[in-house]
Amino acid sequence: MDNLKQAREKIAKLKEELQAVIVAHNYQRPEVQDVADFTGDSLELARKCVGIEAEVIVFCGVRFMAETAAILNPASTVLLSYPDAGCPLADTIDIGSLRQWKHRYPDAAVVAYINTTAAIKAESDICCTSANGVEIVNMVPNGEILFVPDRNLGHYVSTKVGKKIVLYHGFCYVHDSVTVEQVMLARQRYPQAKVLVHPECRPEVINLADAALSTSQMLRYTRESSCKIFLIGTEEGMLYPLRKQNPEKEFHSIVKNFICTDMKKTTLETIVEVMQARGNVVTVPEEISVKAKQAIDKMLAIP
């Protein structure tokens, strides 16, 4: 019996024992996505976690996602699939900097990308994801917005709305590394292809793309498009659900080894370990959780 098969069997048994539901982000390894009950982008997974009725949610992703699940579903115990799977982008802003910034712009609303710690969400007016940033900023009554922490997503949103958006200087090292040259080279190789990039990419890269989309929006776009070849500008785990959903279409990564190391820390073995130990329980202190939930709930109230 091969290792993967053994691990899958152990996970199935542990799921019953723990009354667990497994959720996985679209960037997870293929075999991890395959054992999940639900996969999706940050917004879909947050919505899904609200309604899960299970003793345990095993979150295969990174810490801010598991924290969001714990905030939204206090009745379940949330286990993160690898102890220190974090998001370096989320760690680019701390509470002290955010408070100073709020002090400088007293009339601005703080819109926090979901890729933030619970403590940052708790200090923010509303959350957004890469799927709904434009809608959220439009919906906020203030004319001035402090957008934290991703400068690229914030810039992308600013090109779509008529508001003053003050950008924080954070960025995702994975998406920010894509260059104009890489996109142009990929386009030369596949001139008929549509180029889809994540809004965490740099503005000049987004300008060259046919669309800037969240990971699940990419799934929708490619399903509905009559185009047969796509160049993908996001973490390469995304190629798995794209190819699975569209076996007749071609998908190529714009960048070789387009990998978020934290997203790749989870394996079937780490899931087994976490479930066996009932370890890596993600909790958020009550006073932070209550406030962060307000910012997340405001976002989720938008259909």
Q: Which is nearer to ligand 13P, 70 or 128 (CB)?
A: 128
Residue 152 contact partner, candidates ligand 13P, ligand SF4, none, CB within 5 to 8 A by sort of partner: none
Residue 90 corresponds to which amino acid?
A: A
Q: Which is nearer to ligand SF4, 88 or 203 (CB)?
A: 88
Tell me how far apart the alpha carbons of residues 297 and 289 are, in angstroms, rounded to a whole number.
12
Judged by CB under 6 A, the residue of 35, 43, 62, 146 near ligand SF4 is: 62
**Closest by Cα among 14, 81, 85, 4 to 54:** 14
**Site membership for ligand SF4, residue 235 (CB under 6 A):** yes
CB of 43 to ligand SF4, least distance (A): 13
**Site membership for ligand SF4, residue 213 (CB under 6 A):** no
Tell me how far apart the alpha carbons of residues 172 and 175 are, in angstroms, rounded to a whole number.
6
Judged by CB under 6 A, the residue of 129, 266, 270, 289 near ligand 13P is: 129
Q: Which is nearer to ligand SF4, 89 or 178 (CB)?
A: 89
**Site membership for ligand 13P, residue 68 (CB under 6 A):** no
**Site membership for ligand 13P, residue 81 (CB under 6 A):** no
Tell me how far apart the alpha carbons of residues 46 and 279 are, in angstroms, rounded to a whole number.
21
- Judged by CB under 6 A, the number of residues near ligand 13P is 11
**Site membership for ligand 13P, residue 130 (CB under 6 A):** yes
Strands 20-25, 38-40: pairing kind: parallel
Q: Which is nearer to ligand 13P, 77 or 266 (CB)?
A: 266
Judged by CB under 6 A, the residue of 46, 174, 272, 295 near ligand SF4 is: 174
Tell me how far apart the alpha carbons of residues 108 and 277 are, in angstroms, rounded to a whole number.
45
Instruction: Give the count of beta carbons closer than 10 Å to the beta carbon of residue 155.
Output: 16
Tell me how far apart the alpha carbons of residues 40 and 241 are, in angstroms, rounded to a whole number.
10
Tell me how far apart the alpha carbons of residues 289 and 71 are, in angstroms, rounded to a whole number.
6
CB of 115 to ligand 13P, least distance (A): 5
Tell me how far apart the alpha carbons of residues 71 and 223 are, in angstroms, rounded to a whole number.
32
**Site membership for ligand 13P, residue 150 (CB under 6 A):** no
270 sits in which H/E element: helix 268-277
Residue 262 contact partner, candidates ligand SF4, ligand 13P, none, CB within 5 to 8 A by sort of partner: ligand SF4
Residue 200, SS3?
coil
List residues near ligand SF4 by CB under 6 A.
Answer: 62, 87-89, 115, 172, 174, 200, 235, 260, 262-263
